[in-house]
Amino acid sequence: MMKDRPAYDLRTNGVKQSLRLGMLVYAVLAVLAAVFYLERIAMLDMAFQVFHILRTGSLQIQSGRFGAAATQGFPWVAQMLQLPLKSVLLSYSLGHALYYWLVFGLITAVLGQWKWGLVFVLLSTGMVTHTFYWLSEMPQGLAFLMLVFAWIDWKGSLGALKRWEYPLLAGAMVTAFYFHPMVLYALVFCSLFLLLEKPLPAGRRNLILFALAIFFGAALVKYKLLQLDWYDAIALERAQAFELLWPQWFDLKSNRDFVRWCRSDYYLVPLLFFLNTGFYLWKGLQWKAALAALFPVCYVLLVNIPFHAGERQFYMENLYLPLAVFVSVPFIFDVLPGFFGGRYMVLTVALLAGIGLIRIYRAHTGWTQRLQWEQGFLEKTAGLANRKLLLPEQNAPADTLLLSWGSAYEFLLLSSLEHPDSARCILIDESPGRFDSLLRQRRLFLGEFRHYSFDSLPRRYFNVVDTSTYARY
């Protein structure tokens, strides 16, 4: 006679299975981060930040986004230990993977909030494509926000907070906002989603509202009381497009680009969007259906209208990433349990994550081509009499290079990998004429925003021995 099959313990099995899935997913992402570390770090923002970390020996927080210290700490420690340049760059790339692994571990293994852990896995794989290679503060901030909501679910109510946990929550909400200001929309969505739960105990509602108030308070202080830096000021100026472009909000190049990218890369977003909305309508949950349908559409317009003329996909993808939260939270908390009762939830997410990992890997092609072009340019010009070069942007392959502003830092890092004495000064710029008065400076590193004497560069990493003048190439 066969023994009765033991009942499926959703919480115990959910934690165990989610933990196994997450460990596997982030192990694969770590391997990819190690293999493609140059594609991720020796380019644009990361090259700029590493250059200044090595030059100053301190963290480089841009636009007040101090949450980035969570990943910048890895190359900072590496240079403090006087590790070679390759180890510094590798540590920065792996540091991002380790950050997400740690956050996932805290959510799932420590707090036991396995559903938020599954949301986190989909956040890392469901939409991420080119933002795996172009690193920014947005995904780091969204990851931290998922940890905060997992902690809120773990505490359960405002009355459960100890005295010392009030400033902890306040600090966490301010930190989440200062990762990236558009994390705000993910916070609002998750808060509204939790507030629509029925039944909703008063203590739980008050905890969510308290956290939301702290976040809005941080936004109010930044945008109304403190002086904005140039980057945030430009972002606010773009908001004028809402008035200028009405009523043509839907007939925009950026909207057409988004639809095209959804077909090629972000297919999970429309799939879950329609699945979530249809599920809520089927269940008669009109308010959740409205949230699942209207919030993502409004957010896409919020992003696309200021960038109506279109922008590079990797940059726009970074701004679209909260969409992964908007579709993953209803899918994990309501739709999957409604269909499977929890038993096959992890398996479904594993399938979606596997598809995402394959897409992330395949996306390396363009970034590897960019890296190979720069490495090839260094090799091709290695025998020139004048090896300090200024190159007009129109003479570089635009579709391969993408953006030129980080070229000086990228070439410096790539040329110095072999040996600090092999460091080279090469700058690609859209208006090279603005550097004409500096071309005869023999001991000056020309950068996009500022120039540095050779004596100010750390010789351990960038010992520039070429004292010839700059030459137009």
pLDDT in tens, 345-376: 999 999 999 999 999 999 999 999 999 999 99
pLDDT at residue 230, rounded to an integer: 61
Query: Could you tell me how many helices (H) and strands (E) the chain has, helices first?
Result: 22, 5
Mark whether 357 and 442 lie in a shared domain: no
Structure tokens at 301: 């317009």
Is the pLDDT at 213 greater than 60? The verdict is: yes
Predicted pLDDT of residue 417: 96
pLDDT at 1: 39
- What pLDDT is stored for residue 232 in this prediction? 66
* pLDDT tier, 3 (very low <50, low <70, confident <90, very high otherwise): very low
In whole angstroms, what is the distance from residue 11 CA to residue 322 CA?
27
Compute the C-alpha angle 259/268/356, nearest 5°: 115
Of 362, 391, 412, the residue at which a domain comes to its end is 362
Query: What is the model's pLDDT at position 181?
Result: 86
Report yes or no on 370 lying in a domain.
yes
216 lies in the same domain as 154 = yes
CA distances from 43 to 96, 115, 124, 130 (A): 15, 35, 21, 13
Residue 264 in any domain: the answer is: yes
pLDDT above 80: residue 122: yes
At 2 the pLDDT is 37
What single DSSP character describes residue 451? -
- 240 and 121 in a common domain: yes
Mean pLDDT of 13-30: 94
Q: Which residues contact 151 (CB under 8 A, 6 or more apart)?
A: 111, 169, 172
Is residue 6 pLDDT above 60, yes or no? Answer: no
More confident residue, 198 or 98: 98
CA separation for the pair 274, 417 (Å, rounded):
48
Residue ending a domain, among 362, 386, 417, is: 362
How do residues 246-261 score in pLDDT, each as one tens digit? Answer: 888 888 999 999 999 9
User: Strand, helix or coil at 384?
Assistant: coil
Please check whether residues 244 and 386 belong to one and the same domain.
no
Examine residue 111 and state whether it is found in any structural domain, yes or no: yes
pLDDT of residue 371: 98
Range list of H helices, 198-267: 202-220, 230-238, 241-245, 253-264
Q: What is the pLDDT of residues 39-72, one digit of tens each?
A: 999 999 999 999 999 999 999 988 778 888 999 9
Distance CA 17, CA 252 (A): 43
Residue 140 CB partners (closer than 8 Å, separation 6+): 67, 68, 70, 71, 96, 99, 179, 180
More confident residue, 226 or 248: 248
Mean pLDDT of 206-211: 94
State residue 9's pLDDT score.
53
Q: Supply the mean pLDDT for the chain.
A: 92
Q: How confident is the model at residue 10 (pLDDT cuts 50, 70, 90)?
A: low
* pLDDT value of residue 269: 97
Interval 299-326: pLDDT, tens: 999 999 999 988 999 999 999 999 999 9
In this structure, the answer to whether residues 351 and 417 fall within a common structural domain is: no
Question: Would you state the pLDDT for residue 343?
Answer: 73
**Residue with the two structure tokens 């023999």:** 442
pLDDT at position 89, please? 98
98 and 76: one domain?
yes
Do 310 and 421 sit in the same domain of this protein?
Answer: no
How far apart, in whole angstroms, are the C-alpha atoms of residue 171 and residue 68?
Answer: 15
> From start to end of 255-392, where are the E strands?
389-392
Six-digit token string for 263: 């077909």
* Tokens 């493609």 belong to residue: 36
Question: Is the CA virtual torsion 230, 236, 240, 245 positive or negative?
Answer: positive
Q: Domain span at residue 91?
A: 10-362
Tell me the chain's radius of gyration from C-alpha atoms. 24
Q: Which helix (H) or strand (E) holds 471?
A: strand 471-472
> Is pLDDT above 70 for 231?
no
Query: Residue 4's pLDDT band (boundaries 50, 70, 90)?
Result: very low
Q: Are residues 35 and 67 in the same domain?
A: yes
Q: What percent of the chain has pLDDT over 70?
A: 95
Q: Calculate mean pLDDT across residues 338-343.
A: 78
C-beta of residue 13 within 8 angstroms of C-beta of residue 65: no
Mark which of 362, 377, 405 sits at the end of a domain.
362
Domains of the chain: total: 2
Above pLDDT 90, what percent of the chain? 82
pLDDT in tens, 89-118: 999 999 999 999 999 999 999 999 999 999
What is the b/e burial string over 57-83, where b = at least 16 CB atoms within 10 angstroms of the residue's CB? eeebeebbbbbbebbbbbbbebbeeeb
| Mean pLDDT, rounded, for 275-296 | 97
Q: Are 168 and 303 contained in the same domain?
A: yes
Least confident of 74-83, 182-191, 211-220: 211-220
